[in-house]
Chains A and B, each alone.
Chain A
Amino acid sequence: MRSRQTTLDQKQARNGLLFVMPWIVGFLGLFLYPLVRTIYMSFNVVIPSVDGYVFRWVGLDNFARILTEDIDFVIAAQNYFVRVLVYTPVIITLGIIIAMLLNQNIKGKGIFRMIFFLPIIILNGQLLENISSYGGMDIHVNGFVLDVIYTIVPSGAFSVVLDLFSYIIEILWYTGVPILIFLAMLQKVDKSLYEAAAIDGANGWSIFWKITLPSLRSAITVAIIFVVVFLANFDGNPINSIILTSMNAGDRSEGYASAISIIYSLLQLLVISILLLFSIEKQRKRV
């Protein structure tokens, strides 16, 4: 009996591996080998020739050049770092708010959803650049409204808000998939929980903090990872074009570009760990 059980398990394991085999082949051929190759290239000066590349070992020279001599990547990386750390929490917050709005029983829900998911479909780097470089992304705030606000609020404090406001459309357009993730999660929350809380006399505010937000916890983690990866791979990201131009530039070439992409990958891991640690820490305090 026992031996039959093991053979069945073995058969299961074999079938499972068979299904996953395309991924394993892809991982070895299109991830592991290229990764080793990239790391090797980053320690070399790479000279393209007729039959492949010629390598000249230079050790850490490429990295030293990127971080200490040339300034383009360092500046772009700093901008990216700050931008992602500021954008992501705003995107997540707005995403939760919009997902909660869409989760209400309102008329025209279908139309609202269609509008909020539209950027998922149409957004690309070139589109965003075309719109924003000609002012399509700034909502013109009425002059009178501005005057009133400036007289009430000291302008220094307000200009920060206004700065963020001029990016508001861009940020909102990034919220598509996070909204989707949150909405799917909100719909799974048991409705009787809300009813029970309401009967016990909880108001909307405490229901939000005690029921809605905790149930979104795993969705927030997923959304953070998604947003950071999206912003990194977005075609409007200047780091990508720096890497591409470096690759084609004679004095930099593939070795230098590989070194940039390795530093960039490490930065990416750092950003994600900061954001995740921060969100986990906050959630732990709250519970």
Chain B
Amino acid sequence: MKKLKLDRAHQWQHIKKNLFGSGTKKGILYKIAVYFLSITFAFVFLYPIFYMFMISLMSNTDLVDSTILWIPSRIYINNYIFSARAMLMNQTFIGFFIDFMKTVDIPASIADPQMLSTPLFTELVKVFTILMIIPMTAIVGSIFTKKHKILWIISSIVVVIIFILPRSYVDSFYVAGTTTFMMIISSAVIGYGLSRFQFFGKKLIFVLLLVIYILPKTLLFIPRAEIYNIIGVKGTIFALWIPALFGQGMQATFFILVFYQFFRMMPKQIEEAAYIDGATSFDIFIRIALPMAVPAFIIAITYGLAVNWNEVFLANFYLEGNIKTIPMLLGSLQDEWSRYADYTSGDLVNVDFTESKAFAGTLLSIIPLVISYGIIQKYFIESIDNSGITGE
């Protein structure tokens, strides 16, 4: 009898240990709590996307039917077809470009001051930039890897893919991608200068960086537009590139500090050894510092793309509607609806603009971002793991 009691006590000890954990080992209850909370948060995060998806499949008659809450009675695919049309996604970029070149009228003189913002020039710059991806990949890639052949092949495939993507996707990638590229170049250079050199006024620069970061973007946009007007770039993509190149773009401080943190981790000895071997500061930057900062580049590319893609206010103002990115098109979806929806089909009730159309458009607008994120996220999360992005 006594032995049994002891056994029971022992067993209870064992169960208790498993349930609540002991020392640094966590118990089952703890694990259940962690999973429960994680799953709850994940559900709440994704809820709007589920909700949008289900609603976007419904026809307007389903929407007003109170018996239908989640599952549509039949899948109404026209929501997506008409939204894609209204958001200029029904045409490939190369198809659009060929059509455009057939109908465009060539400006009378090249010296026209407004030439930079004409549709012809806008499109030509766009195509030229996309083609420049191939040589740029080769140049930039040669810093990080020696496999030149693969770089050429991959970049050529990317360019071909870009040409057959829907038109507005290409426009958005063009605006966000090129601006991010400019911003990353300038942030890396500036971040390196701040992290590896001592010079007069460095502290002041940090204070100013912080102040610039805190001030809202609306503070300076009127005089900046004035400047762009004077040098003739308002209404063109250059109005977005110029601030990015000079470290004054969207959230530039954030990117400069990311690079600053990374370059600061570079051991001093490597730098000194290179100096003794006769390398210049620029050599060290290109050959040693940049290849070590791959995680910083991945963070900057991911976050920079997101920031520049989702920015509408300034992009709309500076581009003057000459290039329309997806968030801008999403904003005007309701107004443009009647021009693109097909009212001849007879099923008139279901064609009118409702939330199922808005949600279909919204989902279409996030598809390219979600796919890019799916590709890049593994590297993104790894980069965050081996970074100290929290600056002081």
Contact residues in B for A198 (Cβ distance below 8 Å): 23-24
Do A41 and B223 touch (CB < 8 A)? yes
Q: Does B12 contact A (CB under 8 A)?
A: no
Minimum CB–CB distance from B33 to chain A (whole Å) comes to: 10
Q: Does B385 contact A (CB under 8 A)?
A: yes
Contact residues in B for A229 (Cβ distance below 8 Å): 213-214, 216, 251
Do A29 and B41 touch (CB < 8 A)? no
Residue of A nearest to B381 (CB): A113
Give 1 or 0 for each of A251-280: 1 = CB within 8 Å of chain B CB.
000100110011011001100100000000
Among A35, A185, A240, the residue within 8 A (CB) of B218 is A240
Contact residues in B for A116 (Cβ distance below 8 Å): 41-42, 45
Give 1 or 0 for each of B193-235: 1 = CB within 8 Å of chain A CB.
1101111101001001010111111111011101100000000
Interface size class of B (residues with CB under 8 A): 35 or more
Query: For residues 181 through 216 of chain A, which have their beta carbon under 8 Å from a beta carbon of chain B?
Result: 181, 183-185, 187-188, 194-195, 198-199, 204
Among B213, B242, B361, the residue within 8 A (CB) of A225 is B213
Cα-based distance from A232 to B359 in the complex (angstroms) = 26
Give 1 or 0 for each of B261-288: 1 = CB within 8 Å of chain A CB.
0000000000000000000010001000
Do B198 and A16 touch (CB < 8 A)? yes
Minimum CB–CB distance from A208 to chain B (whole Å) comes to: 13
A9, A16, A185, A235, most chain B CB atoms within 10 A = A16
Minimum CB–CB distance from B232 to chain A (whole Å) comes to: 14
Do B44 and A139 touch (CB < 8 A)? yes
Q: Does B109 contact A (CB under 8 A)?
A: no
Do B330 and A30 touch (CB < 8 A)? no
Contact residues in A for B384 (Cβ distance below 8 Å): 180, 183-184
- DSSP class of A's interface residues: helix, strand, loop or mixed? helix
Residue of B nearest to A273 (CB): B214
Q: Does B243 contact A (CB under 8 A)?
A: yes
Do A127 and B327 touch (CB < 8 A)? yes
Q: Does B52 contact A (CB under 8 A)?
A: yes
Do B389 and A181 touch (CB < 8 A)? yes
Residue of A nearest to B201 (CB): A17
Minimum CB–CB distance from B347 to chain A (whole Å) comes to: 22
Do B38 and A112 touch (CB < 8 A)? yes
Given A101-B37, A114-B373, 4 further pairs, Cβ under 8 A: A124-B311, A124-B312, A130-B362, A258-B222
Q: List 27 A-B contacts (CB under 8 A).
A: A13-B197, A17-B193, A19-B197, A20-B193, A27-B248, A30-B242, A38-B219, A38-B222, A52-B226, A106-B34, A116-B45, A127-B330, A127-B366, A130-B359, A131-B48, A131-B359, A136-B52, A169-B45, A177-B303, A225-B213, A229-B214, A240-B217, A240-B218, A244-B313, A247-B222, A261-B219, A268-B215
The residues of A with any CB-CB pair to B shorter than 8 Å are 9, 12-23, 25-27, 29-31, 33-35, 37-38, 41, 52-53, 97-98, 101-102, 104, 106, 110-127, 130-131, 134-137, 139, 168-169, 172-173, 177, 180-181, 183-185, 187-188, 194-195, 198-199, 204, 218-219, 222, 225-226, 228-229, 232-233, 235, 239-240, 243-244, 247, 254, 257-258, 261-262, 264-265, 268-269, 272
